[in-house]
Amino acid sequence: MTASAPISAPALPPGDSDSGFGELRGGNLGVRIATTDAEIDAVQALRYRVFYEEMGARPGASAAQTQRDRDEFDVVADHLLVVDHMIGAGPEGVVGTYRLIRQPAAERIGHFYSADEYDITPIIAFPGHVLELGRSCVHQNYRNRAAMQLLWRGIAAYVFLHRIDLMFGCASLPGTDPDLLAAELTYLYQNHLAPPALRPRALPHRYVEMRRLDPAALDIRRVAGGLPPLIKGYLRLGGFVGDGAVIDHQFNTTDVAVVVKTDLVTDKYYRHYERQVRDALD
């Protein structure tokens, strides 16, 4: 993650006019793309509560004053929402979010968010449509299977709608001491390193070695089971990690690059929902 910037939400919904796919429902929860300034403001307020108030990120002056997590990419991104209809169908009901940036949107800024931490040349060169995932968070009262599954259903719908071939982004481990994360970083490098043709590499001035322990000494089951839920979700979808971790002192995290080819997305999160996605598009 990088520092927030004092930038307001756009006057029009971000992304292209065809970015939405209706709404997918699971009980009282729904997932869809934000369509109003007020919903984007609710997303930024939720991100501030989670990243700064819960996770110990250090706000700049603007973020502290507004209590919003904002940056330049919010203007061009699509914002996936989880809404609790028991609270409300609009911004008041926003309880989860994911930021989605397609290549045409990144070109308006000049680069993808991840490029501040990684050399993503192999991803840019990939012969297909790419999607950057980031800024994922869920309200503390909704960190359960239902909300997370709904977010993944929303991503699957978005991938289906826009014919995305490759997803990538930065995922975070808590804390900024890589030695305390030695087991996790070693496990990820040893077992889930991306093939060279798809492998991002941490920028030289930010590169932190991931191979910190003897892999033979790892308790694989314990380490894999203790990974953050978001990283475990990427790995379940057949995801890979890049070479090198990056310390983000502002957000109090250690980041790893994650790459997922969408043809490896499991039936559970893609084909199983294809009919529902088609219905939502009608």
Rounded mean pLDDT, 226-249: 94
pLDDT at 264 over 80: no
Establish if 244 belongs to a structural domain.
Answer: yes
Establish if 122 belongs to a structural domain.
Answer: yes
Q: What is the pLDDT of residue 160?
A: 85
Establish if 76 belongs to a structural domain.
Answer: no
Domain harbouring 269, CATH code: 3.40.630
Q: What is the pLDDT of residue 12?
A: 32
Helix (H, G, I), strand (E, B) or coil at 242: coil
Establish if 266 belongs to a structural domain.
Answer: yes
Query: What is the rounded distance in angstroms from the CA atom of residue 113 to the CA atom of residue 111?
Result: 7
Cα separations in angstroms, 173 against 10, 190, 227, 258: 31, 17, 8, 12
Establish if 143 belongs to a structural domain.
Answer: yes
What is the number of domains present in the chain?
Answer: 1
Query: What is the rounded distance in angstroms from the CA atom of residue 106 to the CA atom of residue 275?
Result: 30
- Give CA 44 to chain center in angstroms: 14
Say what the pTM is.
0.87
Query: What is the rounded distance in angstroms from the CA atom of residue 250 to the CA atom of residue 1?
Result: 8
Establish if 47 belongs to a structural domain.
Answer: no
Q: Tens of pLDDT along 162-216?
A: 989 999 999 999 999 999 999 999 999 999 999 999 999 999 999 999 999 999 9
Query: What is the rounded distance in angstroms from the CA atom of residue 179 to the CA atom of residue 132?
Result: 28
Q: Between 18 and 11, name the one with better pLDDT.
A: 18
Establish if 171 belongs to a structural domain.
Answer: yes
Structure tokens at 250: 């502002």
Q: Tens of pLDDT along 70-115?
A: 999 999 999 999 999 999 999 999 999 999 999 999 999 999 999 9
Establish if 87 belongs to a structural domain.
Answer: no
Q: What is the largest CA-CA distance in the chain?
A: 54
Query: What is the rounded distance in angstroms from the CA atom of residue 60 to the CA atom of residue 3?
Result: 7
Domain containing 161: what range? 98-281
